[in-house]
């Protein structure tokens, strides 16, 4: 009797475990304001949020193999997921463009048209971008590398960054310009954004988010999706490089 009473008192005194939300995200979204919105969501709801960051092209496999509550993914890749991967229809979050970066304080050339953009790249000693090795799983690297293979880009000295992404290569002195997603350029104080690439190149990623079919915390996951898609949330997304 005494044991049962002691056990009951212990259970009453034990702290209630806070709810936890596991979110799988690529770096492009992580740097586009996700951290700020996660912190705000935690403060307002008391729900702990754990971000699991992985390269874009590896996320489809991770969605299948790992137990997360929701995930962000490029919209076309989202549409190609294996049946049963999502716990509902995906929601379109917005678009992130690839931009041209230079070192802080360097001149900002005119890249307003495709011919001008190509001429600017040809004038560079080196244009750094992320490693396109499929093992790394970087979608922006794949896009930048494909761009460099175009006949009209012949003569551009493209440099695959030896460490990190294209911006890291620029900071490390491997080139004097860099191609990188705008949301990954803006946080780096050592560099400046010249602008997004000309529209003809279609150098952008559309981002969607969805509830995982493996979600253990469905209610909080749905609440988080609604939270990051409020008009107020886009004030954060937009300043960090993600446009609606």
Report the interhelical angle of 35-45 vs 231-239 (nearest 10°).
150
CA distance 234 to 244: 7
pLDDT of residue 10: 36
Name the residue ranges covered by the structural domains of the chain: 17-95+205-239, 97-204
Topology agreement, domain 17-95+205-239 and domain 97-204: yes
Per-residue pLDDT of 212-222, as tens digits, reads 999 999 999 99
Closest by CA position to 139, among listed 26, 25, 24, 32:
26
pLDDT at 16 over 50: no
In the chain, % of residues over pLDDT 90? 90
Contact predicate 230/91, CB 8 Å: no
Per-residue pLDDT of 100-152, as tens digits, reads 999 999 999 999 999 999 999 999 999 999 999 999 999 999 999 999 999 99
Which residues lie closer than 8 Å to 93 by C-beta, 6 or more apart?
Answer: 29, 72, 207, 208, 209, 228, 229, 237, 242
pLDDT of residue 19: 79
CATH T-level topology, domain 97-204: D-Maltodextrin-Binding Protein; domain 2 (3.40.190)
Closest by CA position to 21, among listed 33, 3, 39:
39
Q: Which CATH architecture has domain 17-95+205-239?
A: 3-Layer(aba) Sandwich (3.40)
Per-residue pLDDT of 144-200, as tens digits, reads 999 999 999 999 999 999 988 999 999 999 999 999 999 999 999 999 999 999 999
CA distance 203 to 193: 15
Q: Give the confidence band of 41 by pLDDT, cuts at 50, 70, 90.
A: very high
pLDDT of residue 18: 58
Q: Give the confidence band of 13 by pLDDT, cuts at 50, 70, 90.
A: very low
Per-residue pLDDT of 57-94, as tens digits, reads 999 999 999 999 999 999 999 999 988 999 999 999 99
């Amino acid at each position: 009797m005494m044991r049962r009473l002691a056990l009951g008192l212990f259970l009453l005194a034990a702290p209630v475990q806070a709810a936890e939300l596991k979110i799988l995200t690529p770096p492009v979204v992580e740097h586009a304001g996700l951290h700020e919105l996660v912190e705000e969501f935690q403060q307002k709801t008391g729900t702990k949020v754990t971000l699991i960051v992985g390269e874009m092209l590896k996320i489809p496999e991770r969605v299948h193999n790992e137990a997360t509550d929701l995930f962000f993914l490029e919209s076309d890749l989202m549409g190609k997921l294996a049946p049963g991967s999502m716990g509902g229809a995906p929601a379109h979050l917005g678009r992130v463009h690839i931009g041209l970066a230079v070192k802080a304080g360097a001149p900002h050339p005119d890249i307003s048209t495709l011919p001008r953009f190509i001429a600017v790249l040809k004038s560079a000693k080196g244009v750094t971008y992320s490693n396109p090795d499929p093992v790394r799983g970087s979608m922006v690297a794949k896009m930048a590398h494909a761009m460099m293979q175009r006949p009209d880009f012949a003569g551009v000295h493209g440099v695959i960054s030896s460490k990190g992404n294209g911006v890291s290569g620029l900071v490390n002195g491997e080139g004097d310009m860099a191609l990188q997603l705008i949301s990954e350029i803006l946080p780096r104080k050592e560099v400046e954004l010249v602008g997004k690439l000309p529209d003809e190149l279609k150098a952008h990623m559309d981002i969607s988010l969805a509830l995982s079919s493996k979600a253990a915390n469905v209610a909080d996951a749905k609440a988080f999706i609604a939270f990051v898609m409020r008009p107020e949330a886009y004030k954060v997304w937009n300043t960090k490089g993600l446009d609606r």
